[in-house]
Amino acid sequence: MEKRGGTPSPSPRSTEKSGKDLTRSGDANGGAGAGGNATPKGDKEKGVNVQVILRCRPLSDDETKGNTPVVISCNERRREVAATQVIANKQIDRTFAFDKVFGPSSKQKDLFEQSISPIVHEVLEGYNCTIFAYGQTGTGKTYTMEGGGTRKAKSGELPTDAGVIPRSVRQIFDILEAQCAEYSMKVTFLELYNEEITDLLAPDEPRFPVLPVPEDKNKKPIALMEDGKGGVFVRGLEEEVVYSAGEIYKILDKGSAKRRTAETLLNKQSSRSHSIFSITIHIKELTHESEEMIKIGKLNLVDLAGSENISRSGARDGRAREAGEINKSLLTLGRVINALVEHSGHVPYRDSKLTRLLRDSLGGKTKTCIIATISPSVYCLEETLSTLDYAHRAKNIRNKPEVNQKMMKSAVIKDLYSEIDRLKQEVFAAREKNGIYIPRERYLQEEAEKKAMTEKIEKLGVDLEARDKQLVELKELYDAQMLLSAELGEKLEKTQKDLEDTRHALHDLEEKYSEAKSTIKEKEFVIFNLQNSEKSLVDCAYNLRAELENAAADVSGLFSKIERKDKIEDGNRSLVQRFRSQLTQELDALHKTVSTSVMQQEDHLKEMEDDMQSFVSSKDEAAQGLKESIQNLKALHGSGITALDNLAGEIDMNSQTTFEKLNSQVQSHTSDLEKCFGVIALGADNLLNELQCSLSKQEERLAHFANKQREGHLRAVEASRSISNITVGFFHSLDVHASKLTSILEETQGVQDQQLIDLEKKFEVIPNDNYYIQYAVNKLI
């Protein structure tokens, strides 16, 4: 196939051509799989999911300067995006998985090579492919699709920030050149704003400067036409043939320039408009039978309006029709996606121009990829989450991609030839004027009629379009109303249910209320009691406080007392010290006194011994005297006996005469004896008196000594105790002495008694009948 091209013109032919192209792609229905080598059979039956790529842009310089918090984290390896949300001081992380994830540091080149390059290959295989950029304004849709601002790069190289469009064009050229294939590439670039299509590649200048063109007609609105076979085509859309990758920037700049003018005029229109850049490639192929075939592939690159317009339109919809229209396409796109995901029967493609244009890309035979763009900033979080939800939902759309039917080259040439023929005939007729000839008046009349007819037709067409529009509007309204009524019905049901629930709840609440009331009463009673007890507690507390204060005073007094006591104890200690020293002194003195008293006692004992010796000697003397007197008495008694014997003889002879004598003698003897006994008794009495005297003296001394001892005892109890022991011992020894003395006395007495008994016995020898002797002896005793 030859490369076609030349001056682009908005001629009806080019319109027809594009219509044909679209029709063809629509026609591909029946001829599925003619060259479908890229699609496995299973895919055809089940379909292929829409591929969803997520791209997060880096923070802008301003955002970085302003320390904007980042709430998005991308995990490219796991193909996950996490959004951190803080609700009521709770951190909630939401994670979304996509087919591919490109973080803020990702490069244009990486995105293209990893995700778009395979799609370009499929386009070259004869598929129709569509790439959408979806996201909030300012998240990088245009950056991703077209690229940054850099236009020039080193000799033929693309700048690093080149977007998907230039890279795709470049790749197509590279591949086809490498294959030395025969091909042609044409592009169209249109904008959809407020449900009106604008050709961004149409020449600005009016073709006939003679006819004045109004300012607002500069951007000619173009109609979307049904091709009658389920497809649509854009009438009068300019197709630009591209011969090299370098040209693409001219085309983009041309389109962007148009958009920019519009932007200033129409208040940031670009964020509310969709732009569709389409690349159509015709490639010549040879079949096995050496037949030449034409393979057709189409790539649509769609830069959608800012997704924030969906939510915002919600508030305005109905109020301002225009505002509604602006976002109608985006809204319908959402509805179409929902319908496709939920497999609901009716998919509202026809509700907006965007969905009509891209019908085949959504649930059709086109391979579709959505690039969702987000910002990492916290201030965009709400929009980011809605984008993530939207994109995640779109993942479930299934398309059934099919390769476009290839056309025989001969058929294409035939088409072209017939067109050339027709053109030739026109030219020939014009030049040779050998067509039908009619008179000038008739011609003029016919022309006027024709013009009128055309005008009428145009008017009718416009009318029809208006009616169509009205119909669509009415249908929309009807749908909306139905939706509303369904919603209202649901709401009513829900409300009734709620009412029932509320009634139950009210009943429960009433019960609870009465319960609560009684509880409150109880509680009040309890509170009353509590208050009383609190009062009494407060009183108690006051009393306790007063007592505590007293106690504190007492304690301080106690402390002072303790202090004083300590002082006194100190004094006592020193006193005890002093007392101890005094005691030792006094004990020393006592010791001395005791030793002196022991010496004295020893002296006393010596004296007593001496006394006892003298007493014994005097006693001996007395005993001697007594012996002597007893001897005398014996002698006297012997003589008496002899005398008595003599007397008895005499008595025998004359008892009467001698009796008197005897009597006198006895009397004298008796008196002698009496005298003698008196002397002895006196001596003994004296002795005893002396003894008594010495004893009493001794006792006196002892008493004196005891007194002294008692005084000492007062000074020191222990010493006194020992002294008393000594005294007791002394007394004991004294007692022993006394008892000894008493026993000596008793012995003496016994000796005396014995002597007397002996004497008595001796007297008993005297005849019993001697009454007088007996009487005398008794008297003696």
Binding-site residue set for ATP:
135-142
Query: Least distance from C-beta 114 to ligand ADP, angstroms?
Result: 14
Q: Which does 377 bind (CB under 5 to 8 A by kind): ligand ADP, Mg ion, none?
A: none
Query: Least distance from C-beta 387 to ligand ADP, angstroms?
Result: 11
Please, what is the angle between helix 771-780 and helix 440-715, to 10°?
130
Determine if 139 is a binding residue for ligand ADP (CB under 6 A): yes
**Which residues, at least 6 apart from 697, have a Cβ–Cβ distance to it below 8 Å?**
none
Query: Least distance from C-beta 95 to ligand ADP, angstroms?
Result: 21
Query: Least distance from C-beta 152 to ligand ADP, angstroms?
Result: 17
Query: Least distance from C-beta 341 to ligand ADP, angstroms?
Result: 24
- The residue whose Cβ lies closest to ligand ADP is 140
Stated as kind and residue range, the H or E segment containing 751 is helix 717-765
Query: Least distance from C-beta 57 to Mg ion, angstroms?
Result: 12
Do the strands 407-408 and 80-87 form a parallel or antiparallel pair, or are they unpaired? unpaired
Binding site for Mg ion (CB under 5 A): 141-142
Determine if 58 is a binding residue for ligand ADP (CB under 6 A): yes
Query: Scanning residues 289 to 308, which ones bind ligand ADP (CB under 6 A)?
Result: 306
Q: What CA–CA distance (Å, rounded) separates 575 from 348?
A: 121
What is the DSSP secondary-structure string of 249-309? HHHHHHHHHHHHHHHHHTTSGGGG-EEEEEEEEEEEEE-TT--EEEEEEEEEEEEPPPTHH
Determine if 377 is a binding residue for ligand ADP (CB under 6 A): no
Do the strands 196-199 and 221-222 form a parallel or antiparallel pair, or are they unpaired? antiparallel
Query: Least distance from C-beta 142 to Mg ion, angstroms?
Result: 3
In the bound state with ligand ADP, the residue whose beta carbon lies nearer, of 306 and 640, is 306
In which residue are the tokens 């009716």 written? 346
Determine if 143 is a binding residue for ligand ADP (CB under 6 A): yes
CA distances for 120 relative to 241, 282, 300, 363, angstroms: 18, 14, 11, 20
CB contact at 8 A, 73 and 81: yes
> Of 130-138, 497-505, 544-552, 617-625, which segment contacts ligand ADP by CB under 6 A?
130-138
Residue of 126, 138, 255, 376 that binds ligand ADP (CB under 6 A): 138
Of 702, 708, 704, 717, the C-alpha closest to 587 is: 717
Number of residues that bind ligand ADP (CB under 6 A): 13
Of 76, 157, 164, 174, the C-alpha closest to 119 is: 164
DSSP state of 215: G
Residue of 135, 166, 297, 640 that binds ligand ADP (CB under 6 A): 135
> What are φ and ψ of residue 395, in 5° steps?
-60, -25
Alpha helices per DSSP H over 268-408: 308-316, 321-342, 353-357, 381-394
Determine if 148 is a binding residue for ligand ADP (CB under 6 A): yes
> Of 142-150, 379-387, 457-465, 479-487, which segment contacts ligand ADP by CB under 6 A?
142-150
> What are φ and ψ of residue 235, in 5° steps?
-75, 130
- The residue whose Cβ lies closest to Mg ion is 142
Query: Least distance from C-beta 371 to ligand ADP, angstroms?
Result: 10
Q: What CA–CA distance (Å, rounded) separates 280 from 136?
A: 29
> Of 139-147, 329-337, 402-410, 432-440, which segment contacts ligand ADP by CB under 6 A?
139-147
Q: What CA–CA distance (Å, rounded) separates 122 from 369?
A: 12
Determine if 309 is a binding residue for ligand ADP (CB under 6 A): no
Known binding-site positions: 135-142
Residue of 26, 140, 255, 363 that binds ligand ADP (CB under 6 A): 140
CB contact at 8 A, 278 and 298: yes
Determine if 141 is a binding residue for ligand ADP (CB under 6 A): yes
In the bound state with ligand ADP, the residue whose beta carbon lies nearer, of 138 and 712, is 138
Residue of 23, 142, 329, 355 that binds ligand ADP (CB under 6 A): 142
Determine if 376 is a binding residue for ligand ADP (CB under 6 A): no
Give contact residues for ligand ADP (rule: CB under 6 A). Answer: 57-58, 135, 137-143, 148, 306, 373
